[in-house]
């Protein structure tokens, strides 16, 4: 699933390509992943795409509505296989194209999603504010003091805290595992038991990894493409994620995979020592994340 660096990459591409363009008309395909397709058909035509930005793992297309009114935005979650990019109007539509917005420059902004685990919602005024307020701090903007507080005041496992979108918005499985490895913290360690020094290491590791991944336009696993249709390159720099049985780049110990908070977690058992009393693999029940999107249950069910 696209995480912060992948969504940032797509949002920057769309900002470059479609910001300032007016939507002329909208055609929808399958709408079962859309909160309010009728509102999209009503509010998108005539609206100008003011700015495209990332909010956690979502993209926000902030709009100047056709008629003066409340602040309006199209919220887009790419799910596992969603892609959003502009194409010349004459180009044939790819299979699984579910939104086509004709723009005033003759191109079409298209959303393609074979599995439809994504989400799309037209939000205005209070509904928009309410939706955004459900999410925690942005890991690239959060100050060290706030980060320490958010992690160390909680009894949940640190991996679960990193994935909890109400704690930090935008981190998913790949970048959680990579930053815990870099900071030498076991994924099953409790937030409250993490030392100041460890948590500070994690803060810098997470920011450094996210920034590097954005430069490399994200990780392309499960078909991720940016707004120009190009894959990212950060997957070539993964140290533990998806590398079970391979040597840890730091100490050559074999990378292991355990389940923490219902998710696969890759770690080095030598560099990332198990919390006391927990030498073996830890299984915990999946946590229903506050602020999770409608599609999350489906996603959790199919992820390994
Ligand atoms: Zn190691």
Same domain, yes or no: 122 and 150: no
Determine, yes or no, domain membership for 13: yes
CA of 169 to the centre of ligand 1 (A): 28
Same domain, yes or no: 168 and 53: no
Q: What pLDDT is stored for residue 293 in this prediction?
A: 44
Rounded Cα distance, 61 and 288, in Å: 27
CA-based torsion, 269, 271, 274, 279: positive or negative: positive
Same domain, yes or no: 95 and 151: no
Same domain, yes or no: 259 and 217: yes
**CATH number for the domain including 275?**
1.10.8.50
Domain count, the chain: 2
Pure H helices in 125-255: 125-133, 144-152, 158-163, 173-183, 196-215
Find the catalytic residue in 3, 6, 17, 108: 3
Longest dimension (CA), the chain: 63
Determine, yes or no, domain membership for 139: no
Pairing of strands 97-103, 83-88: unpaired
Structure tokens at 220: 């392309």
Same domain, yes or no: 23 and 110: yes
Determine, yes or no, domain membership for 295: no
Find the catalytic residue in 6, 17, 53, 57: 57
Q: What pLDDT is stored for residue 277 in this prediction?
A: 61
Q: What pLDDT is stored for residue 300 in this prediction?
A: 39
CA of 158 to the centre of ligand 1 (A): 19
Determine, yes or no, domain membership for 304: no
Same domain, yes or no: 150 and 127: no
pLDDT, tens only, 72-107: 999 999 998 999 999 999 999 999 999 999 999 999
Determine, yes or no, domain membership for 119: yes
Q: How many CA atoms lie within 13 A of 32 on its CB side?
A: 8
Q: What pLDDT is stored for residue 281 in this prediction?
A: 47
Rounded Cα distance, 166 and 146, in Å: 14
Q: What pLDDT is stored for residue 220 in this prediction?
A: 87
Find the catalytic residue in 157, 239, 243, 263: 263
Q: What pLDDT is stored for residue 222 in this prediction?
A: 65
Same domain, yes or no: 148 and 277: yes
**CATH number for the domain including 37?**
3.20.190.10
- Residues of the chain under the 70 pLDDT cut: 222, 277-304
Concatenated DSSP letters for 84-121?
EEEEETTSPPPTTEEEEEEETTSEEEEEE-SS---EEE
Determine, yes or no, domain membership for 299: no
Structure tokens at 140: 């690239």
Same domain, yes or no: 121 and 242: no
Same domain, yes or no: 109 and 198: no
Same domain, yes or no: 126 and 148: no
Structure tokens at 212: 């590097």
Q: Is 3 a catalytic residue?
A: yes
Q: Is 2 a catalytic residue?
A: yes
Determine, yes or no, domain membership for 277: yes
Q: Which residues lie below 8 Å from residue 185, measured CB to CB, with a gap of 6+?
A: 158, 194, 198, 201, 202, 272
DSSP 157: B
User: Which residues span the domain enclosing 240?
Assistant: 144-288
Determine, yes or no, domain membership for 301: no
Same domain, yes or no: 121 and 198: no
CA of 271 to the centre of ligand 1 (A): 4
Same domain, yes or no: 126 and 234: no
CA of 251 to the centre of ligand 1 (A): 4
């Amino acid at each position: 699933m696209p995480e912060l660096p992948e969504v940032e990459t797509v949002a920057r591409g769309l900002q470059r390509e479609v910001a300032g363009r007016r939507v002329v008309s909208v055609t929808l395909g399958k709408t079962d992943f859309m909160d309010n397709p009728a509102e999209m058909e009503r509010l998108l035509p005539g609206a100008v795409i003011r700015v495209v930005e990332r909010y956690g793992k979502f993209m926000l297309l902030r709009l100047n509505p056709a008629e003066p009114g409340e602040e309006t935005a199209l919220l887009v979650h790419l799910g596992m296989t969603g892609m959003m990019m502009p194409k010349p109007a004459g180009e044939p539509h790819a299979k699984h194209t579910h939104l086509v917005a004709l723009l005033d420059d003759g191109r079409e902004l298209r959303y393609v999603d074979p599995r439809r685990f994504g989400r799309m919602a037209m939000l205005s005024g209070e509904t928009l504010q309410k939706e955004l307020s459900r999410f925690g701090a942005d890991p690239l903007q959060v100050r060290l003091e706030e980060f320490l507080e958010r992690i160390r005041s909680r009894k949940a496992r640190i991996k679960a805290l990193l994935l909890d979108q109400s704690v930090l918005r935008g981190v998913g499985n790949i970048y959680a595992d990579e930053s815990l490895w870099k900071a030498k913290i076991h994924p099953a360690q409790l937030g409250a038991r993490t030392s100041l020094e460890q948590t500070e290491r994690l803060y810098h590791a997470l920011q450094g990894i996210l920034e590097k991944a954005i430069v490399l336009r994200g990780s392309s696993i499960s078909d991720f493409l940016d707004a120009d249709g190009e894959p990212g390159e950060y997957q070539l720099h993964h140290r533990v994620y998806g590398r079970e049985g391979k040597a840890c780049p730091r100490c050559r110990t074999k990378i292991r995979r355990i389940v923490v908070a219902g998710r696969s977690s890759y770690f080095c058992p030598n560099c990332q020592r198990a919390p006391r009393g927990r030498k073996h693999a830890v299984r915990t029940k999946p946590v229903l994340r506050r602020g999770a999107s409608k599609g999350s249950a489906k996603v959790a069910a199919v992820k390994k």
